[in-house]
Amino acid sequence: MENQSIYEALIGSGVLFPIILTENSRGEKGWYPVKGDLKLIENNLEAVFLHQIGTKFREEDFGSRVWECLEEQNTQAQSFIINQFMREAFENWESRITYKGTKIQRESSKINLIFTYVLTDTNSSRDGILTYDIENK
């Protein structure tokens, strides 16, 4: 563990999606896990937010309730509930980071949710974006 970077310790290791075949140190091609890569967190967040929870929400359901309110009027109440649903999803499904907030940006039929989070124990802040297109669901 002495040679392990802080990112390897905090993020861990796993495989990234989409699958990309790479070459290892022995020249063999395959699908290999990565260590300490922030893309592991991004892959997990993508899965959480793209998986819509059904109308009969149960606490153990994987996913996010964000999509329930995206087509509502652009009001302060909508912003509040989106932030609440985002916070719940982060707290339930991604313990390696802390959710900070979301800004809503609309452009024609698209709704962009620009969210900020902090990687636990490093104080490094990052942004992510979710885009929902009303015309091309």
Would you give per-residue pLDDT tens digits along the chain (137 residues)?
455 688 888 888 998 888 889 888 899 999 888 899 989 998 988 888 877 665 565 666 778 888 888 777 878 888 899 999 999 989 989 999 999 999 989 888 888 999 999 998 888 999 999 888 877 75
**For the chain, percent helix, then strand, then coil, each to nearest 5?**
30, 30, 40
Helix axes 38-50 and 76-93, enclosed angle (nearest 10)? 120
Where is 90: in which H helix or E strand? helix 76-93
Name the β-bridge partners of 46.
none
Residue 57's pLDDT is: 59
Instruction: Map out the domains of the chain with their CATH numbers.
Output: 6-133 (3.10.450.40)
Residue 84's pLDDT is: 93
